[in-house]
Amino acid sequence: DAKTTQPPSMDCAEGRAANLPCNHSTISGNEYVYWYRQIHSQGPQYIIHGLKNNETNEMASLIITEDRKSSTLILPHATLRDTAVYYCIVRASGTYKYIFGTGTRLKVLA
Amino acid sequence: ETGVTQTPRHLVMGMTNKKSLKCEQHLGHNAMYWYKQSAKKPLELMFVYSLEERVENNSVPSRFSPECPNSSHLFLHLHTLQPEDSALYLCASSQAATPSGANVLTFGAGSRLTVL
């Protein structure tokens, strides 16, 4: 079973920041948080990952709470092409098992 | 070609057919994965190979038979499938031969399988 909980769906206005929450209250010290997204019927696309610190790349920012029990993916200026299902995954270093949950269906509105 | 390539993109087969799905990665990665995604369900991990050795088999029925002849190629051989096996089959790869550290997955576009 997935170790994360995400809201099933969210809407965001085009040009605004999209903030996608993820709860991972049972996370262990050696477990990474990953975010992927899947645009309809395509393969999932890697977005960002983190262990303890906040991270930023050209696609998004990842904010991890100090207790590591939750995180937020931020798409700073959402576009229509960001409409997708976003998956938050927790994986322990030392295992190949990336367990996907049901994700959050983000719809960016014009 | 770059990234992870899956062929065919679409496959229709009868329950008595034998077919294969192919995955090729051009990233120099050492581990390869098969995932299954059924309609309205999360991705399910099926198999993982690291340096051509199977390291994960997630209780997959024997009608699915994986093969990894080298670190760049992964096959999924299909025989006597059931209609409920219709799904999107996704291949992925990751750089590390051992799953330590971040080990990010790169996915292919998937093979859409329909079993009649």
Contact list, A32 vs chain B (CB under 8 Å): 102
Mean per-residue pLDDT over chain B, rounded: 93
| C-beta atoms of A102 and B50 within 8 A | no
Instruction: Give the model's pLDDT for residue A1.
Output: 62
Encode pLDDT of B76-105 as tens digits. 999 999 999 999 999 999 998 788 878 899
| C-beta atoms of B42 and A34 within 8 A | no
Encode pLDDT of B8-43 as tens digits. 999 999 988 899 999 999 999 999 999 999 988 889
Task: Give every CB contact of residue A73 below 8 A, 6+ residues apart in sequence.
Answer: A18, A19, A20, A22, A35, A47, A48, A60, A61, A62, A86, A88
Q: Pairing mode, if any, of strands B73-79 and A70-75? A: unpaired
- Cβ-Cβ pairs closer than 8 A, A with B, add up to 56
In the predicted model, is pLDDT for residue A93 greater than 90?
no
Instruction: Give the model's pLDDT for residue B103.
Output: 84
Terminal Cα distance for chain A, rounded? 35
Which two three-digit tokens encode residue B19? 């077919």
Contact list, B56 vs chain A (CB under 8 Å): 96-97
Contact list, B110 vs chain A (CB under 8 Å): 41-43
Residues in A whose CB is inside 8 Å of some CB of B read 2, 32, 34, 36, 41-46, 49, 51, 91, 93-103
In the predicted model, is pLDDT for residue A92 greater than 90?
no
Instruction: Give the model's pLDDT for residue B1.
Output: 58
Q: Which of B7, B10, B89, B103 to mutate to test the interface with A (most CBs of A within 10 A)?
A: B103
